[in-house]
């Protein structure tokens, strides 16, 4: 009478419970050909065990348990995580074609119109054409030479604003917003020959609002259930409608305010036509190589891939230099010794090894895209001796490659010197020798083409700020909070730092 169902033993009653919890206790060995991983439930797979937040640190803990290649089943989606340099070489280089596609989910399908873009499209002719068309106006040395003067000009305006800002010099300011304006101006001048007047320019406010809302909706964990479990998809309808509505307003914003203006200008200016990146892209459209949808998705991709990534790195570099005054002083000494009164320019970055080490150390410790952009195999493939089902999302934990104590001396420390003392061979150069422990931009076919812009942009702003200002925590604090905020994609600083900028006497 004590039991709910008289006549049944407590053991029998608890059997379903036991079966439910068994997968939490056991792991798959990987013996049936699939990579090891936790035993999965029907329908949910491993989702209930592992949860939503598969950030770089949680994935390290799982790699310690299941190995350097492991498989998670998230409802109908398969996810493979790679955590050592040899396997990363396989995915990105040796089998770069096989693993050269990108997975999308229900939300990414909306934000890319099912792969009309470049960043999230499958490996193949469309991707190759888009990458080729984007390379000429964005990702060559000639582009760097054409625009470096403009970059320096935009940065010098930031220095001027800081010099004229009393708050910046006393209680400190959140410098992020001003740097964001600078990066928008740099990218919009390259793209459209257009710039924003100030942070209160209504177009700047609209652009940043559209882009941050797009990041929030795309990176949220809220929609996982509908992506992983297709029968639940109808419940996502209002979320997906929100995404569709934002995307159509956002693309119309890019089109009406920028793309159409260039189209008109180009039509008026026969002969002398190619002035900014958009002119080259529109020319490719006129030649029938890409559609007008592809044009707008190139704009969308640059908005997503170029600006915030570089901005996060700048925020991290500044925060670490504030927290490591010795590194800041050493950098300032290098700038003074090498350059004297000369300004920091793109042409003299190669003479500043410690500055380059600061940039590398920032990207190692705080890789802005710690898991790279996910890769995917269109066909069944082999990896580390295991069978990888086709269309598996393959993640390389690049952050762990750069932060594993097996491969790095005290990796948790911010110590730029490591690149001048013990790690002298590790390069973050375009076309440099690849060290598969250090891949903040990925490597191979789908690696970041923007590295050619991002590295000098980072070196320039850090060099210029440190040469002109002593950057310190706001009065009453002695350290900046460098707690991380993860997302499905990014590694950002949780609290945008307030920093005081004390001008250095000339
Ligand atoms: C510090 C700044 C940046 C970092 C850390 C970064 C990092 C990355 C990473 C990790 C990937 C994926 C690599 C892979 O999947 O293997 C990527 C892809 C990409 N990045 Fe960047 N990036 C930065 C700045 C930029 C800039 C400034 C641009 C453009 C102006 C850019 C454009 C792209 C594009 C178009 C792709 C997609 C490439 C493809 O799928 O073929 N990135 N980036």
Lowest mean pLDDT among 344-348, 367-371, 423-427: 423-427
Cβ proximity of 470 and 321 under 8 Å: no
Distance 449 CA to ligand 1 centre (A): 6
What percent of the chain lies above the pLDDT cut of 70?
91
Query: What was the pLDDT predicted at 7?
Result: 45
Cβ proximity of 477 and 356 under 8 Å: no
Residue 432 to residue 395: CA distance in whole angstroms? 23
Distance 301 CA to ligand 1 centre (A): 10
Question: Tens digits of per-residue pLDDT, 73-111?
Answer: 999 999 999 999 999 999 999 999 999 999 999 999 999
Q: Within 10 A of 322 (CB to CB), how many other CB atoms are there?
A: 25
Segment 447-459 shows an average pLDDT of 97
Question: Tens digits of per-residue pLDDT, 127-157?
Answer: 999 999 999 999 999 999 999 999 999 999 9
271 — pLDDT class (breaks 50, 70, 90): low
Ligand 1, pocket-test mutation among 450, 489, 492, most atoms within 8 A of CB: 450
What percent of the chain lies above the pLDDT cut of 90?
81
Residue 437 to residue 244: CA distance in whole angstroms? 39
Query: What was the pLDDT predicted at 303?
Result: 95
Q: Is 306 in the pocket of ligand 1 (CB under 6 A)?
A: yes
Cβ proximity of 375 and 394 under 8 Å: yes
Q: Is 138 in the pocket of ligand 1 (CB under 6 A)?
A: yes
H/E stretch holding 451 reads helix 451-468
pLDDT at 431 over 90: no
430 — pLDDT class (breaks 50, 70, 90): low
Segment 389-412 shows an average pLDDT of 96
Angle, alpha carbons 51-55-60 (nearest 5°): 100
Q: In what order do the strands lie in the sheet with 498-503?
A: 173-174, 498-503, 469-472
* Signed CA dihedral, 450, 455, 456, 457: sign only: positive
Question: Tens digits of per-residue pLDDT, 164-209?
Answer: 999 999 999 999 999 999 999 999 999 999 999 999 999 999 999 9
Q: Is 446 in the pocket of ligand 1 (CB under 6 A)?
A: yes
Distance 448 CA to ligand 1 centre (A): 3
427 — pLDDT class (breaks 50, 70, 90): confident
Distance 55 CA to ligand 1 centre (A): 19
Cβ proximity of 466 and 322 under 8 Å: no
Distance 15 CA to ligand 1 centre (A): 50
Query: What was the pLDDT predicted at 31?
Result: 56
Beta carbons within 8 Å of 312's beta carbon, 6+ residues apart: 366, 368, 490, 491, 492, 493
Query: What was the pLDDT predicted at 6?
Result: 43
- Residue with the bigger pLDDT between 311 and 53: it is 311
Segment 474-485 shows an average pLDDT of 93
Residue 346 to residue 342: CA distance in whole angstroms? 12
Distance 119 CA to ligand 1 centre (A): 8
Distance 4 CA to ligand 1 centre (A): 59
Q: What is the ipTM of this complex?
A: 0.99
Query: What was the pLDDT predicted at 1?
Result: 34
Q: Within 10 A of 339 (CB to CB), how many other CB atoms are there?
A: 16
Nearest CA to ligand 1 atom 37: 119
Cβ proximity of 35 and 71 under 8 Å: yes
* Signed CA dihedral, 281, 308, 104, 206: sign only: negative
Nearest CA to ligand 1 atom 15: 373
Nearest CA to ligand 1 atom 42: 450
List phi, psi (to 5°) of 88. -65, -40
H/E stretch holding 470 reads strand 469-472
Query: What was the pLDDT predicted at 5?
Result: 41
Q: Within 10 A of 234 (CB to CB), how many other CB atoms are there?
A: 8
Q: Is 448 in the pocket of ligand 1 (CB under 6 A)?
A: yes
Query: What was the pLDDT predicted at 29?
Result: 60
Q: Which two tokens stand for residue 72?
A: 């998670």
Distance 243 CA to ligand 1 centre (A): 23
Cβ proximity of 362 and 320 under 8 Å: yes
Nearest CA to ligand 1 atom 27: 306
Q: Which two tokens stand for residue 474?
A: 């706001």
Q: Is 303 in the pocket of ligand 1 (CB under 6 A)?
A: no
- Residue with the bigger pLDDT between 275 and 189: it is 189
Ligand 1, pocket-test mutation among 316, 441, 457, 489, most atoms within 8 A of CB: 441
Segment 429-451 shows an average pLDDT of 86
Known binding residues for heme are 448
Cβ proximity of 42 and 355 under 8 Å: no
Q: Is 232 in the pocket of ligand 1 (CB under 6 A)?
A: no
Q: Within 10 A of 182 (CB to CB), how many other CB atoms are there?
A: 22
Query: What was the pLDDT predicted at 173?
Result: 96
Nearest CA to ligand 1 atom 40: 119
Known binding residues are 448
Cβ proximity of 427 and 435 under 8 Å: yes
Query: What was the pLDDT predicted at 200?
Result: 96
pTM of the model: 0.93
DSSP 486: E
Nearest CA to ligand 1 atom 7: 441
Residue 121 to residue 376: CA distance in whole angstroms? 10
Query: What was the pLDDT predicted at 3?
Result: 42
Q: What is the mean pLDDT of the chain?
A: 91
């Amino acid at each position: 009478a004590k039991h709910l169902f008289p006549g049944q033993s407590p053991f029998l009653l608890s059997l379903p419970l036991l079966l439910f919890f068994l997968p939490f206790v056991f792991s798959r060995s990987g013996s049936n050909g699939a990579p090891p991983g936790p035993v999965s439930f029907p329908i949910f797979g491993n989702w209930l065990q592992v949860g939503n937040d598969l950030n770089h640190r949680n994935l390290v803990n799982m790699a310690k348990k299941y190995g350097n290649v492991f498989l998670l089943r998230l409802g109908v989606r398969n996810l493979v995580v790679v955590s050592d340099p040899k396997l990363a070489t396989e995915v990105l280089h040796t089998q770069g074609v096989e693993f050269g596609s990108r997975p999308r989910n229900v939300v990414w399908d909306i934000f890319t119109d099912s792969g009309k873009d470049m960043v999230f499209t499958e490996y193949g002719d469309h991707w190759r054409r888009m990458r080729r068309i984007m390379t000429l106006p964005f990702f060559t040395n000639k582009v760097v030479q054409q625009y470096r003067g403009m970059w320096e000009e935009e940065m010098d305006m930031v220095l001027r604003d800081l010099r004229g800002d009393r708050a910046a010099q006393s209680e400190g300011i959140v410098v992020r917003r001003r740097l964001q304006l600078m990066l928008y101006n740099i990218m919009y001048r390259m793209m459209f020959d257009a710039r924003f007047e100030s942070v209160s320019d209504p177009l700047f406010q609209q652009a940043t609002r559209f882009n941050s809302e797009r990041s929030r909706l795309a990176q949220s964990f809220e929609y996982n259930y509908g992506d992983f479990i297709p029968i639940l998809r109808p419940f996502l309808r209002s979320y997906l409608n929100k995404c569709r509505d934002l995307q159509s307003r956002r693309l119309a914003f890019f089109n009406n305010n920028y793309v159409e203006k260039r189209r008109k200008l180009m039509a008026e200016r026969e002969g002398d036509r190619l002035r900014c990146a958009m002119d080259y892209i529109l020319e490719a459209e006129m030649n029938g190589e890409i559609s007008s949808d592809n044009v707008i998705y190139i704009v969308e991709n640059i908005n997503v891939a170029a600006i915030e990534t570089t901005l996060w790195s700048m925020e991290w570099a500044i925060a670490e230099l504030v927290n490591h005054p010795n590194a800041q002083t050493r950098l300032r000494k290098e700038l003074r010794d090498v350059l004297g009164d000369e300004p920091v320019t793109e042409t003299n970055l190669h003479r500043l090894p410690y500055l380059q080490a600061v940039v590398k150390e920032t990207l190692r410790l705080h890789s802005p895209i710690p898991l790279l952009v996910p890769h995917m195999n269109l066909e069944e493939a082999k990896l580390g001796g295991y069978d990888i089902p086709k269309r598996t999302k393959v993640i390389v934990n690049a952050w762990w490659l750069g932060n594993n104590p097996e491969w790095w001396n005290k990796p948790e420390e911010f110590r730029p010197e490591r690149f001048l003392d013990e790690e002298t061979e590790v390069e973050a150069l375009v076309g440099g020798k690849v060290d598969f422990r250090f891949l903040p931009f990925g490597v191979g076919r789908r690696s970041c083409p923007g590295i050619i812009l991002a590295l000098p942009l980072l070196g320039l702003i850090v060099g210029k700020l440190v040469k002109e200002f002593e950057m310190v925590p706001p009065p009453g604090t002695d350290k900046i909070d460098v707690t991380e905020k993860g997302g499905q994609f990014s590694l950002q600083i949780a609290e945008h730092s307030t920093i005081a900028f004390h001008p250095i006497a000339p």
